[in-house]
């Protein structure tokens, strides 16, 4: 049941923290993967200047995409430059039209960071406008008409900016691919010291494991899990579809969030 999957997050390592386990399971099920960080990570260093930080993090992102077997797509803006603006939406819509995904994986609409939430808004609108011939993209790309289903990952820390827990529609068991997830995250070597200094993370790999363990406990069924919420199909597909749930049927269990 091959599907084309587009994982769109904000900064290099966001996909790895909240989506990578699901990506490995989708890859193992024969899906075609696409990987994109909307922002280039240029502010994620206490030692390197912006240009060098962006260069290093681009290389790390490329290695991560290669590790999971995904096509790498270039970032389009700087950190803290992700705004819900026509210029950025047109650029992301062009990428969506080129990929023609069946599934889009996006950040949570509620998060502790504006860049993350704005990435979600831009991604949702880009998917919505993919089929509008009169909507001009940058660069120009012809409209596409395929159905696409959008899924939102949990926010980093598992709560919104007001510390309220975000409850998924469903959980994906990533116990069998946790080491792959952590190895993919480890491709972002420059982030170890940055996260230690700015967010007090003694080990970002162990933080990712423990967050997966917390989501697993939330599921009441899995040891290690990632959680997802499915976007409304209106404007995106002709019927209320769940292709991710179908492809990963043996790995999913419903949550109390619905869906």
| Residues 4-24 pLDDT 10s | 999 999 999 999 999 999 999
What's the average model confidence in pLDDT over 116-136?
98
> In this structure, are residues 73 and 36 in contact, taking their beta carbons and an 8 Å threshold?
yes
Counting residues of the chain whose pLDDT is more than 90, the rounded percentage is 88
Over range 199-211, report the average pLDDT. 79
SS (H, E, C) 52-118: HHHHHHHHHHHHHHHHHCEEEECCCECCCCCCCCHHHHHHHHHHHHHHCCCEEEECCCCCCCHHHHH
- For 205-212, what is the mean pLDDT? 93
Helix axes 86-99, 114-128, angle to 10 degrees: 60
Write the DSSP symbol of residue 14.
H
Coil, helix or strand at residue 149: strand
Question: What pLDDT, on a 0 to 100 scale, did the predictor assign at position 209?
Answer: 95
How much of the chain, in percent, has pLDDT values that exceed 70? Answer: 94
232: CB partners within 8 A, 6+ apart: none
Average confidence score pLDDT of the chain: 94
pLDDT of residue 199: 60
Is the overall model pTM greater than 0.75, yes or no? yes
> Where do the domains of the chain lie, and which CATH numbers do they carry?
4-254 (3.40.50.10320)
97, 144 in Cβ contact below 8 A?
yes
Res 259: pLDDT: 47
Q: pLDDT band for position 46 (50/70/90)? A: confident
How would residue 201 be classed by pLDDT, with cut points 50, 70 and 90? low
Does the pLDDT value for residue 144 go beyond 60? yes
User: What is the model's pLDDT at position 60?
Assistant: 96
The confidence score (pLDDT) of residue 198 equals 62
Is the pLDDT at 3 greater than 50? The verdict is yes
Assess whether pLDDT exceeds 80 at residue 39: yes
In the structure, what pLDDT confidence band is assigned to residue 204 with cuts at 50, 70 and 90?
A: confident
Residue 1: what pLDDT?
A: 58
* 70-100: pLDDT as tens digits: 999 999 999 999 999 999 999 999 999 999 9
């Amino acid at each position: 049941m091959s599907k084309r999957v587009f994982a769109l997050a904000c900064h290099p390592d966001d996909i790895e923290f909240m989506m990578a386990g699901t990506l490995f399971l989708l890859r193992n099920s024969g899906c075609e993967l696409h990987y994109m960080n909307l922002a280039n990570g240029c502010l994620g260093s206490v030692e390197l200047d912006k240009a060098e930080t962006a260069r290093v993090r681009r290389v790390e992102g490329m290695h991560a995409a290669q590790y999971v077997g995904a096509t790498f797509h270039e970032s389009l803006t700087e950190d803290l430059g992700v705004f819900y603006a026509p210029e950025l939406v047109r650029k992301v819509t062009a990428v969506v039209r080129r990929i023609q995904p069946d599934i889009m994986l996006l950040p949570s609409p509620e998060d502790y960071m504006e860049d993350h939430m704005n990435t979600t808004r831009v991604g949702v609108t880009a998917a919505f406008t993919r089929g509008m011939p009169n909507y001009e993209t940058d660069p120009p790309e012809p409209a596409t008409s395929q159905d696409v289903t959008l899924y939102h990952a949990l926010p980093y820390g598992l709560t919104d900016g007001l510390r309220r827990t975000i409850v998924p529609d469903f959980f994906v068991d990533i116990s069998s691919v946790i080491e792959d997830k952590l190895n993919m995250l480890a491709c972002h070597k420059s982030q170890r010291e940055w996260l230690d200094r700015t967010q007090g993370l003694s080990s970002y790999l162990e933080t990712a494991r423990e967050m997966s363990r917390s989501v697993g406990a939330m599921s009441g069924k899995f040891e290690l899990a990632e959680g997802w919420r499915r976007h409304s199909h209106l404007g995106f597909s002709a019927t209320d579809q769940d292709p991710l749930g179908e492809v990963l049927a043996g790995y999913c269990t419903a949550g109390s969030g619905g869906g």
